[in-house]
Amino acid sequence: MAMSIVHRATGIANYAGTALLVLWLVAAAWGEGPLDSINALYGSWFGQLVLFGYTWSLTHHMLGGIRHYVWDFILGMEAGQREMLSWANLAASTALTLAIWTLFVWIK
């Protein structure tokens, strides 16, 4: 039940994160000055924290969708299997987020 709530919350968070992406694209369309301002905001420690959370939200929601797709085939529906898939979703979304940030942000 808790993972169902988290799945819905990440769906809502993805709307806010996508608004940040749109803001960045609009700033890029307006020119170098606005883009530099947005890049400075997103490059701050708070901006990086928000973007990290957005990345985790995207990966968690995606993996939750895959979990629901598996359930559509009546697989993993036993009580222990459902719990295992929920924990796997949480662990995999965290690992995938760390891998994405390691490859694309932290290694320069």
- Overall average pLDDT of the 36-49 stretch: 96
Task: Please give the domain boundaries of the chain with CATH numbers for all domains.
Answer: 2-106 (1.20.1300.10)
**pLDDT the model gives residue 6:** 87
What is the number of other CB atoms lying within 10 angstroms of the CB of residue 85? 21
What is the number of other CB atoms lying within 10 angstroms of the CB of residue 87? 11
- Overall average pLDDT of the 84-94 stretch: 92
Give the whole-angstrom CA distance, residue 60 versus residue 97.
9
Query: The pTM is what?
Result: 0.88
What rounded mean pLDDT belongs to the chain?
Answer: 92
**pLDDT the model gives residue 78:** 85
Among candidate residues 58, 61, 46, the one with its CA nearest the CA of residue 17: 58
pLDDT in tens, 47-83: 999 999 999 999 999 999 998 898 888 887 888 888 8
**pLDDT the model gives residue 23:** 97
